[in-house]
Amino acid sequence: MRVVEVYVEHPVFEINQTYSYICEFPCQVGQRVSVPFGPQQSIVGLIHSIHEREDVTGLKRVLKVLDEEVLLNTELFALAKYMEESTVAPYMACIQAMLPTVLKPKTTNAKVVTISYIVLGDVPEALTLKQAECVKYVREHEKVLSSELRKLYSVTATLLKKGVLKVIEEEKKTHTSYVTPYQEPVLTQEQMECIQRVEETSGFEPFLLHGVTGSGKTEVYLQLAKRTLEQGKEVLLLVPEISLTPQMVERVKGRFGDTVAIYHSHLNNQEKYEQYQRVRRKEVKIVVGTRSSIFLPFENLGLIILDEEHDKSYKQESSPRYHTRDIALWRARYHDCPLLMASATPSFESYARALKGVYTLLHISKRIFTNMPTVRFVDMKEELRKGNPNLVSIELKEKMRDALDKEQQVIILLNRRGYAPVMECKKCHEVIKCPHCDIALSYHKEENAMKCHYCDYKAPYIKVCPSCGHEKFNFSGHGIQQLEEELKQLFPEKKILRMDRDTTSRKGQHQQLIQHFADHQADILIGTQMIAKGLDFESVSVVGIIQADMGFHRPDFRAVEDAYQFLSQACGRSGRKEIQGQVIIQTYDDSHYAYQYIRNHDYPHFFAHEMKYRHHGNYPPYCYLASILVQDKKQERAMEEAFAIEAYLKEQQIQGKLYPVAELFKIQDQYRYRIIVKMKDEEGLRKVLLQVVQEFKGNRKSRVGIFVDINPVNV
């Protein structure tokens, strides 16, 4: 009797194993099946293996095979196993992360959208005049939309009943749009040297390209992609955020036409499915996508490119907590092809590996068109002494006016959504907080609403303090809507665009805003961190950065690195073509050591300076770090479990450092506690974390949420 081993759809450690079922249907490894499980009459599972067994006593039967084809090839099954081990996550969580929603082994209402067409069936000789006209029409068009034919000919239903016509279902396809051809420019010497060095590799080799902003890294990608496609192989080009996708897609399609697949989070379920199938069916050879596109079913990868490799959005923040860079390294090694990681501000982990020779380090030190922008710092304490309480300094205002008078464009960054981040009662000083999180609600003036930026809770603006009944509030801090309001007063005749999460929540808004600014339909673009990197606007001469100090003061050992990357990338949006760029950074402490390196565009010396602190504190990349997050809706239960895990780890006498339980603020009604573990041995760290999961989820049957994150990007 044929028996299949099935992983069921629930991605939890308690059932992280296969279950045996009798299968009387034709089936293959990698197909989804419907199976009974416990008290549930039917859930979805994935066939992991098939074998013959004589004794099948007590085994339940597969109810249905859900797929005609296998969903995962041998490589992706092996990748799922690697992810399970490297991220300490349930195997099914890894499988589900790889597939678009309509193909996930999961009970869902999401289905493939199909379109009904009518084609010829068995056509008899004897037909009425109207029936003959209908048949002729279908014969001439081969297939006709069902809805269209029914409108044209009332006899359609009769012909379908008789079998003269029949209905076929075809998957809906998205129409592609025309893209302006993107011409090949003349390469610089440094670009040619980078291309040549990557081409010299005969198999797997990881490269780190450290190229300053505006140095032509994208053209290096396109040239290498062209050569890879000429060899009949596939190319994956990863970008970190949806905001970077439109310009990159335009350039890739402009060079390679419509044989390019696009894959990112703003596609709907049907569009993701379609792009996935285009890759699987080998209809495209090159893909531009964000994090999840790393799992697309390539079979002959010849090149993987990780643009802006330092970006934190490459890290998945829910189970399985993988880093795209690690998956890219695994797949490049599997396909025996080069991996090109690139950034103007590489992550410390990558740059350290490149200096050690683990990655091959490549350099582009000069911009293509102009010198690097000049950077000036404005002391906002001095602005206050001059009687200027506004967000925009006098110097920045003058630079903006001068640029706008020359019909140049300006970008202003303030990395904070809303109008004001805190609402406080003037009488009792009660801060209005989210009812689900221990976080202050931000005031959004354009909607006259209060929003939580963690759980997306939204409430109308309240006029009375819920604690004391007072009717007036203080608005503390400054958000980007307040900046927009001020700029409209300063430059009433200029068109201003705002780009943040609130203005780009709907599909296509990223692309629309970027295109409007690129077409010079606006003079000033203001935005949060999403406009700080990767975007290329040739008419931008001035970049202003408001409240630049914010990032330096976070309680995170990566705070200075992150702030440097944000500010340096923001500086890079200025003067990217023939216009010399100018950057004004507004700060309340211009003595911070990172600023001198930002002014001089000197990443290598900043890296060396900051690494001294990392070494002194024994932080990555000098060690490996993991977070164990314990959370539950009942605070006492979460706290008890966190202290129990801490006690268990102390008993194990791990070869590393164990930080005590720390209470974090509540999010989405979940009380959270965290334990940090540091070790020199990454494999040893994984074993310790696996022991914790097995002990508390397996042996002790813990009912609280326990989440493991190896090498977290936020601490």
* Cα–Cα distance for residue pair 76/88, rounded to 1 Å: 17
pLDDT digits (tens, 9 = 90+) for 633-649: 999 999 999 999 999 99
Instruction: Please name which of 209, 487, 163, 195 lies closest in space to residue 346, comparing C-alpha atoms.
Output: 209
Q: What is the pLDDT, as a whole number, of residue 385?
A: 94
pLDDT digits (tens, 9 = 90+) for 234-275: 999 999 987 667 788 889 999 998 889 999 888 889 999 999
**Range list of β-strands (E), 9-155:** 19-22, 32-37, 40-52, 60-61, 64-65, 114-120, 144-145
Q: Judge if the upstream peptide bond of residue 621 is cis by omega within 30 degrees of 0.
A: yes
State the distance between the two ends of the chain, measured CA to CA, in whole angstroms: 52
pTM metric for this prediction? 0.91
CB 570 within 8 A of CB 439: no
pLDDT digits (tens, 9 = 90+) for 520-566: 999 999 999 999 988 889 999 999 999 999 999 899 999 999 999 99
* Cα–Cα distance for residue pair 91/93, rounded to 1 Å: 5
Q: How confident is the model at residue 664 (pLDDT cuts 50, 70, 90)?
A: very high
Determine the angle formed by the axes of helices 189-200 and 217-230, rounding to 10 degrees.
Answer: 40
What tokens were used for 197? 């060095």
- Asked whether the predicted pLDDT for residue 373 surpasses 70, the reply is yes
- Asked whether the predicted pLDDT for residue 472 surpasses 80, the reply is yes
- Asked whether the predicted pLDDT for residue 175 surpasses 60, the reply is no
pLDDT digits (tens, 9 = 90+) for 421-444: 999 999 999 999 999 999 999 999
- Asked whether the predicted pLDDT for residue 177 surpasses 60, the reply is no
What tokens were used for 179? 């893209």
pLDDT digits (tens, 9 = 90+) for 374-387: 999 999 999 999 99
